[in-house]
Amino acid sequence: MRTSPSMLAVSVGLALASSGAQAQSAADFYKGKTLNLIISSSAGGGYDMLSRSIARHLPKHIPGAPIVAARNMPGAGGIIATKHLYTVAPKDGLTIGGVQNNTPFEPLLGTKEADYDPRRFNWLGSPSFETALVIAWHTVPVNTVDDLRKREITVASSGANSTPSFFTRLLNDLLGTKMRIVVGYPGQNESFAAMEREEVDGYPSIFWSAIMTTKPDWMRDNKIKALVQYGPEKEAAIGPVPSVSDFLTKEEDKQLLQAAIAPLALGRPFLMPPDVPADRVKLMQDAFAATFADKEFLAEADRLRLGVNVPRSAQQVKEIVEKAYASPQSIITRLQKIAQP
């Protein structure tokens, strides 16, 4: 059956109208709505401060300028919020999350509670990468990695399977250091207080951005010693502090380090749940990219010392996650052994 020119014209017109309606619905969807931002950490910390700063500037980059309502959902090192975003949160585009950078890799490490697949999230990007430090209180007689190999020091941690404990075991494995984990401190603030009271000698995984945000006097007044740094790039502002990678010669050790520091490469990532309509995901990815380049946001981040440095696009975040999960099985097995002693 041949289609008449008039029927063809009607069909094309209807297709274009449908396409235009879909595009219009994505652009108009957020008008008059409330966008829920779930923050996986407790109030008052670096993640929380950054997320709330983004929430203040994000609406002007979203068509319809929705209200952004932020709420905290701490617990299990960010896993509770991440699971909520994966399984419970509505998939209509009205929920976004700011998650701790360890949570995408907990399934890879064999954490039983992390029963989600981070490769299914719709990643929105990250405003920065993180650089972590091993620090010691200024009275502790260690100054170098070589000193850490010769002398045991105690480092504070919340639990045997927490991020500080993981990185302590990792660095002891890679560098031959003698850091001994002391668990039982509920969080980073309590660990810092213990170090100031000299109950413990140091801390194995403080972010440079966290020092600048919460303890700027520590470096300024030489209250701590920065012994070694690790992350996707060296942080120039720290000064002549060596990187863990400077000490590695074996290729397998280098691969292990790269897989282990993938969370630091993510920085402070933001996401949407799986199965959100693609046009709304794209709109939100563009809005986050615009926010990260927003001069007013950058000025506020600088004023609050939020550690915003080199943004990661949604695609870059996705690639970091997928690359870690594509690591050789020997590397994954070694990671899991370090993570679950």
CA dist 219 → 129, 138, 168, 228 (Å): 20, 10, 22, 14
* Residue 151 dihedral angles phi and psi, to the nearest 5°: -125, 130
Per-residue pLDDT of the chain (341 residues; tens, 9 = 90+): 444 544 444 444 444 444 443 444 767 899 999 999 999 988 887 889 999 999 999 999 999 999 999 999 998 888 999 999 999 999 999 999 999 999 999 999 999 899 999 999 999 999 999 999 999 999 999 999 999 999 999 999 988 878 899 999 999 999 999 999 999 988 888 999 999 999 999 999 998 888 887 888 999 999 999 999 999 989 888 889 999 999 999 999 999 999 999 999 999 999 999 999 999 999 999 999 999 999 999 999 999 888 898 999 999 999 999 999 999 999 999 999 999 87
Report how far residue 195's alpha carbon sits from residue 218's, in angstroms, rounded to the nearest whole number.
Answer: 12
Rg (CA), the chain: 23
Neighbour-count burial for 160-181, b at 16+ CB within 10 Å, e otherwise: ebbbbbbbbbbbbebbebebeb
Report how far residue 107's alpha carbon sits from residue 101's, in angstroms, rounded to the nearest whole number.
Answer: 13
Go through the domains of the chain in sequence order and give each one's CATH number: 31-128+267-330 (3.40.190.150), 132-263 (3.40.190.10)
Contact 269, 101 (CB under 8 A): yes
CA dist 71 → 41, 61, 89 (Å): 10, 21, 13
Calculate the CA dihedral of residues 252, 256, 259, 264 and round it to 10 degrees: -130
Report how far residue 282's alpha carbon sits from residue 293's, in angstroms, rounded to the nearest whole number.
Answer: 17
**pLDDT at position 25, please?**
73
Report how far residue 13's alpha carbon sits from residue 181's, in angstroms, rounded to the nearest whole number.
Answer: 68
Residue 179: which residues within 8 A CB-CB, separation 6 or more? Answer: 134, 148, 152, 153, 154, 155, 168, 171, 172, 202, 204
Helices (H) and strands (E) in the chain, counts: 15, 10
Nearest to residue 79, comparing CAs of 95, 49, 100, 110? 100
- In 221-328, which ranges are continuous DSSP H helix? 251-260, 262-266, 278-292, 295-303, 314-325
Amino acid identity at 129 = F
pTM of the model: 0.82
Calculate the CA dihedral of residues 246, 247, 250, 254 and round it to 10 degrees: -50
Q: Is 42 helix (H, G, I), strand (E, B) or coil?
A: coil
